[in-house]
Amino acid sequence: MVSEMVPEQAAQVLVASNRGPVSYKLGEDGALTAGRGGGGLVSGLSAIGPDTNAVWVCAALGDGDREAVRRTGGRLDTGDTGGQRVRMLGIPPEVYADAYNGVANSTLWFVHHLLYQTPLEPAFGTEFRAQWASYEAYNRAFAEALADEAGDGAAVLIQDYHLALVPGMLRALRPDLRIGHFSHTPWAPVDYFRLLPDDIARQLLRGILGADRAAFLTRRWADAFTACCTELLGGTGKTQLGVHGLGADADFLRERANRPDVDERLTELREQIGGTAEAPRRTIVRVDRTELSKNIVRGLYAYRQLLTERPEWRERVTHVAFAYPSRQDLAVYRDYTARVQEVADEINSAFGTPGWTPVVLHVKDDFARSLAAYRLADVALVNPIRDGMNLVAKEIPIVSENGCALVLSREAGAYEELGEDALVVNPYDVTATAAALHEALTMDDDDRTARTKRLAAAATALPPQRWFLDQLDALRGYQATGR
């Protein structure tokens, strides 16, 4: 149900993110159906308790959301939002598309993940400047909504690269607020960040420096941000920096991974993998979106090299690869998804036998099936080109039934916490990754078990609720700078 809701009092805790905790689908009969969101922010905000006056500001993402905003003015009924007050913004679709696809996902994401083919891109011309104007308008809409919803001295936690300009804009509107910004992505090194036009690079940095506190997933990303500020602005000013390495929710994962639907998927996967009780097949598991930074294609190349150079593994190991399509409205992502399928087919054609499919590839998102794969993983392959954290690297050791060896890219944020007990690889080095897969498959059982326990302990050091509350407590400890 969607009904108009007027806040009884101004909020004391506010979260702002592109995607909110609820989304709506519009039926042919005009009825709106709400769906709950997930992730660390949703569980994190629930940790503050029902007595805290809180509101979540987010954007309308589709036709159902926009209709909900039209009917309510954007203040959504708490029955649909799990008891959380939500202010959803009906940003014009063309402005949203330019800000989200043109700037956030096709520019800022590419810069922070080092994804450009620099002989050809980027090329910042008239079209980009028009998209940037939309990004400014999108950020301004958030800043104005937050200023409207916040009580005196409220704590505002602004999320990610979509909203990099909001802290500075909000500071100008409400100098009394305590403002935090959290970056869920890596931060680009100085030389790469300076691919951006100079004025826009400085505008982004000043936007985040409008916050009292700017936080990152790892010290490496915080240091890169500091280096950019020093190079382009002369320093970080009065903004304090923090590091909060988001961990996995072990209790939720273990409980969810043992529900009947996961048991069913596990049975299906075992049938697809094959093998016998006397000679069970080993499994190399990866679970990713077909996001360019996840490096799925090179992972497949490494597996192909393993089968080529180590023929003893043929028919003894299966690569369970879940590659869920991402950002398919962008051509480069559609092409990448097609390439993943193509390489998997090539491997199966070259090495497959009537009783063995070398790569079991699934491209339809299914959380229960992902958890089933976690449970049976002997080896977890997590080899991103660059990643803010990568929770899959943390989740698989928690759920794996018999312990798993983790092959981990040194460019994942999770490397800072898990690197000591992982087999660490250069994500561009296919040969070294193939060698690491062989080492993982031949690892002594006692060693693998001991590593898995240590990985799981490190992975759960800062679960989502604690991650959120630590940031909130740190922000509340500051006086608003009033800049």
Mean pLDDT, residues 405-429 taken together: 98
pLDDT per residue as tens digits for the range 227-281: 999 999 999 999 999 999 999 999 999 999 999 999 999 999 999 998 777 788 9
Is residue 479 pLDDT above 70, yes or no?
Answer: no
**Can you name the residues that pair with 157 across neighbouring β-strands?**
15, 180
pLDDT per residue as tens digits for the range 38-69: 666 666 666 766 667 899 999 999 999 999 99
Give the pLDDT confidence score for residue 6 in this predicted structure: 35
Is residue 212 pLDDT above 90, yes or no?
Answer: yes
**Can you name the residues that pair with 322 across neighbouring β-strands?**
287, 362
Is residue 79 pLDDT above 70, yes or no?
Answer: no
Give the pLDDT confidence score for residue 326 in this predicted structure: 78
**Can you name the residues that pair with 183 across neighbouring β-strands?**
216
Report the distance separating Cα 88 and Cα 337, nearest Å. 31
166 vs 328, more confident? 166
Q: What percent of the chain has pLDDT over 70?
A: 92
pLDDT per residue as tens digits for the range 301-325: 999 999 999 999 999 999 999 988 8
Give the pLDDT confidence score for residue 4 in this predicted structure: 39
Is residue 2 pLDDT above 60, yes or no?
Answer: no
Judged by average pLDDT, the poorest of 26-35, 102-111, 299-308 is: 26-35
Give the pLDDT confidence score for residue 1 in this predicted structure: 40
Tokens of 281: 């097949």
Report the distance separating Cα 246 and Cα 325, nearest Å. 24
**Mean confidence (pLDDT) of the chain:** 92
Mean pLDDT, residues 452-475 taken together: 95
Q: How many CB atoms lie within 10 A of CB 255?
A: 10
Is residue 481 pLDDT above 80, yes or no?
Answer: no
Give the pLDDT confidence score for residue 38 in this predicted structure: 61
Q: How far is CA 271 from the centre of its chain?
A: 31
Give the pLDDT confidence score for residue 51 in this predicted structure: 62
pTM of the model: 0.93
Is residue 436 pLDDT above 70, yes or no?
Answer: yes
Mean pLDDT, residues 68-88 taken together: 80
Mean pLDDT, residues 123-135 taken together: 98
Residue 418 banded pLDDT, cuts 50, 70, 90: very high
Give the pLDDT confidence score for residue 5 in this predicted structure: 39
Residue 30 banded pLDDT, cuts 50, 70, 90: confident
